[in-house]
Each structure stands twice: as C-alpha cells, then as structure tokens.
Amino acid sequence: MDEETQPKRGGGLGKILWLLVLIALVLLWWHFRGKPDQGNSAAEQAADRVTAVTDPDDILVDLKDDVSPAELAAIEREAGIQLALIDDTAEDTQLYRAHVEPGRRDAILAILERNPEVEIAEPDSLMALSPNEMDWRATVTEAETTEPGFPNDPMYAKQWHLRQIGMPKAWKLADGNGVIVAVLDTGVAYEDYKKFIQLPDLKGVEFVKPFDFVTNTKHANDDHGHGSHVTGTIAQMTNNGIGVAGVARNVKIMPLKVLSAQGSGSVGGIADAIRYAADNGAKVINMSLGGAFPSKVLAKAVEYAHKKGVTVVCAAGNESRSKVGYPAAYPGAIAVSATQDDEAITFYSNYGKEIDIAAPGGNTRDSGGGRGNPDGGVLQNTIKLGDPTVSEYASYMGTSMASPHVAGVAALIVGEGITDPDAVEKVLKDSARKPTNQPYSTDKYGAGIMDAPAAILRARSSSGGWQLGLGLLMAGAVAASARRKGLGVKLGPSYLAGVVFGASGLFFLPYLAPGLSSAPVVHALTHGMPSWDLGLLGATGHGNALFFSALIPLGLLAVGYGVPRARGPLAGFAVGVAAHLAFFAVVPMFAVSYMPSVFGLGSIWLAVNAVVCLGLARLALRR
C-alpha cells in the first residue's frame, strides 16, 4: 500500500496501541519483579549470636570509609586498643582488627559501638569447611580411553553431576563469555610457583587478580585441595582431551584464598575478600564455606557485593540440620542444597526456608555408610589433600560441591547479559525443575534442581519475546499516529526487520539451532542491537550508556535520512531500540555504566533515550 498519497486516519488506532504499550510495560514490571529475600529474622540471628563460638582475643572494627587519621587515633585512645588493617586491601574498606584482653572485650565493644565513626564492632570469628567434608573424599584412577564426541574428556563419563543439570545441552548454548568468577576458598592450584603447581586440567583457564587474605600476599595458591576442586566444577578445561569437564569453559577465575591449609579463616578476611572481588570486576562469587552464626561485618560485605551487581552463591552447610548456615542465609546470597545421583537431597545437606535452589553435591557413601562409592561423588581435578605438589582426580561430596555448579551456571546467565543479581537468581529459580521420582519440598530443594540449558534459554529468550512484542506494539503505534499527518515513506517488511534488529534480534534462534548459539556472530544476532556491547565489552562492560542510548539510531538516521528507501528500516530500527531500552528501564537486569546507582538514574536514562528514539522514528517517517 502506498502511504505517500494522502493523510489517513490513524489517530484512534494509534491511541489504542499506545495504551497497549503502557499496559505491556506495567505487565513487564509485574512479571519480572523480584520478591525480596528476607533472610533470617533479627530474632533468629540474635539467637544464633548467643551460641556463636568467637575469638575472645580479637575483635573486628569497621569504621566509616571517610574516617581521618586523627579520628582513628582518637578511637584507639578512647577504647585503649591498637587497630590494624586486616590486610593490604582493607584501606578502602576501613576494616580493622584489634587484639584485646578477653576480660575487657565486651567493655571495649560497648565503647566502640557508641562511637559515631564506628559502623560495626564485633568479636572476630572463624568460618570453615565442614569438619567431616574431607573424610568423604575418594580418589579416582584416571581413565585411559577418551570419550567420543563432545566433550572428549576421558573421565567425563563419571561426571553424572554435570548431566544431572543438563550440561550436554548447555555447552551448545553458552560458554561464559569471559565473566569473572571469584572463588573464596582455600586457594586455587593456578600457577607453578615455589612448591605449588598448576593443575593440568586448569591449564588454559585465565586467572585474574588473585590474593591471599590468610598470609596477605598476591599468590592465592591452594595448600589444601578444596578450593581447586570447587574451581574445577566451575571452570575445568572442557573438551581438552584430558581429565574431566567443567560447567563454564570460558569464564575467568579470581582466586581468593580466605581459608588456611586447615580449612578455616577469619570472618574479617572473608568479608574483605568479598568487597575486593566486587571492586575488581567479579560478577559471580562462590563461597563453599560457612558457619552456624551470623556476623554483621560479613552480612554488610554480602550486601555491598549485591548492590554492586555481583551474584553471591553459597553452600547451605553439611550439618543435616533444618537451618541454613551463614553466609548462605543472608539476604542477597543464593543458598544451595545438595542432591545425589538419584536426585534425592543428600543425608548431610542443611535445609530450611532460606534454600533457594538445589544442585549436585554427591554421596560417596555406600549402603553401609562407608566411603565405598567414589562414583557417587562430584569428580574434579585437584591437588592431593594437603600436598600442593601432586595432582589427582578426586570425588568429593558436600554442599561445597553443589554451590559451584550454581555459580558456574550463574556465570553463563551473566554472559547472556543479565548481570543484576536479583534477575540472575530469578532466572535460576524460574528455570529449575522438580526432582524425578523423589518427594519435593521447598525447604529442601528451594525452587528445584538447577537446569542449566533451561536457565540459559530463559535468560536469552524470555526477555527477547517481550522486547519483540513491545517493539511491534510501538512500531504499530508510531506508524498509526504518523498516518494521521501523512507518511513520507512507504512502509513494508524492511520497517519490521528494523524493529526486530533493534529490539530483540533473532532471540528464538537457540531453540532452532542450539549447536550454533555460542558462536560470537550468532550470539550477537540473538540480542537487540544495544546488547551487542556484550560481544565487544564483555559481561563486565554490559550496560554501556553509549550503546544503551539514542546515539546509534541518531547516527544512522543522520547518514541515511537522504535515502528514501533507507528511512523505513531506519525508523523501524529506532523503534526497536526504543523497545529494547524501555524493556530494561522497567526490568533492570544490569546497571547502566557511568550512571550513579541512586534515584533510579539508570532507568531514567533508558526511558528518556527510548522516548528520543521514538522521536527519531517519527522524524524518519516525515515527508
């Protein structure tokens, strides 16, 4: 139909379509809104605190970040203590430790709590691996034959846990896209340094900004074995023809040693490591550690990371009790319970209302309760227990093993452009599946057993469908309202193609050709154009304010305005970008870079630029 001939009546239809756009935006907000994680009540935390085993000699003192040296000296004089930064990274956080006489500890804490420059003062305490977790480990002899197909890792056949979460399908969809995952544990066997070796099945993984918070050095090597095993689940080199496979084969690992060779570490060091990870580009944190008691310092660190856009994943604990341990129980953390190979919750896993999701943790016990079932554990490459000079393949069991499965899939979701931790958690929960032939309850499974391919597809396509629908509504409204004044161009399929290109891309492509979905070009085509910053800047740079603005539609229109045939698709593209921006203005799945995270400025930026894009589309359709 030639729409250049005369003005047509489209005002009524345009008003109806704009109303539908408004309704769609409200539905978007309602559909994607997250329910706040309340965590344990204040009364429950207080009850835990009474029974907490703390260090009688040391206290943690968290000062306001802008405290001056003079104010620091005054605090020391008033309390009669000497404050020392807990490590070399703590200067920005102003987190101190003081050694005190046990008999004066409570009086000193009372003095500090009254000081307005002190945010938190509490006894220092230890968090640790489960005391019997290492008793459950079993070594496995490396296979001599190679598995056919993908992956070709010889021992992959023993990794039932990867198949339980659907990794054979997930590997075809996503690889992690360079997302940084911080592993807070006993360290990682990531380098050949002094007596330490790099594990053969971690060669090729990129490691960034390591730090040892136990000895205060930049070499976060593993002298225990637990941290390397956990890292292997997240990022063991996959399809390299040796050993075993991991969940996210193209992530970067930030090794942060917070636990000693004995498997324990200070709450102060763990809290500082959380903030260090958040400040140095980590988008996912895994903590396969914990304790039965809360800490204000640790809770504040988890909250800090969450507000900075970091997804925090934690083991629920191995005490077989109906109460999730800390930090897993804190708001802002994803608490993970453990399943075994038949999808039942394991005998050791903690459970309770704070459980968010379940993942494979394994069970190496035989029917008699002994260590006679190594194939029932989670198998990864690690160092020999306590000997960093020897590499081995070992099956462990514990919620410590379940947590990194979730952290790895969380990284795959972040790699798809969903970087807001609440949105990541929602994708994980909404895509989780119920156990097969096992009784299901939310206190044990949370939302269900994690389903990796379903999570990736939901991350990529659930938003894409909404973006395309919103784009088509906007495209109709713009065209209908412009008809009333008379269009200057003829609309056709190219107009709608521009809408798809700008709004959603071919979001449905992963369902049609999953084997191609992780290819960079295909990955870009399955997103609306602003989200192409994922391919150029990575997940850490996703949400770039220049990409997520009217700048690109404006530039293209400036170049192509004088070409009549180009104005239709350019108008459609501007409308599509408007829909993409409007979607994320209502559903904040990432933080807009260069925008302060106050007063909703990121959403305001997106909304304003969406309106500008609609104006550009109207301009392109004028005579």
Any idea which residues carry the catalytic annotation? 185, 226, 400
CA 378-379-384 angle, to 5 degrees, is 115
Cis bond upstream, residue 327 (ω within 30): yes
Cα separation, 92 vs 311, in Å, equals 22
> Looking at 449-542, which runs of residues are DSSP E strands?
none
Going by their DSSP bridges, the two strands 118-128 and 54-63 should be labelled as antiparallel
**538 and 177 in contact (C-beta within 8 Å)?**
yes
CB < 8 Å & 24+ apart, contacts of 483-486: 483/3, 483/7, 483/8, 483/9, 483/10, 483/14, 484/7, 484/8, 484/9, 484/10, 484/11, 484/14, 485/7, 485/622, 486/3, 486/4, 486/6, 486/7, 486/8, 486/623
535: closest CA among 522, 546, 552?
A: 522
201: closest CA among 255, 168, 242?
A: 242
Token pair for residue 171? Answer: 């590997």
Query: Strands of 378-384's sheet, edge to edge?
Result: 138-140, 387-396, 378-384
Token pair for residue 130? Answer: 């489960």
Q: Which residues pair with 45 in a beta bridge?
A: none
Calculate the dihedral angle through the C-alpha atoms of 316, 318, 323, 326, rounding to the nearest 10 degrees: -50
293: closest CA among 19, 50, 95?
A: 50
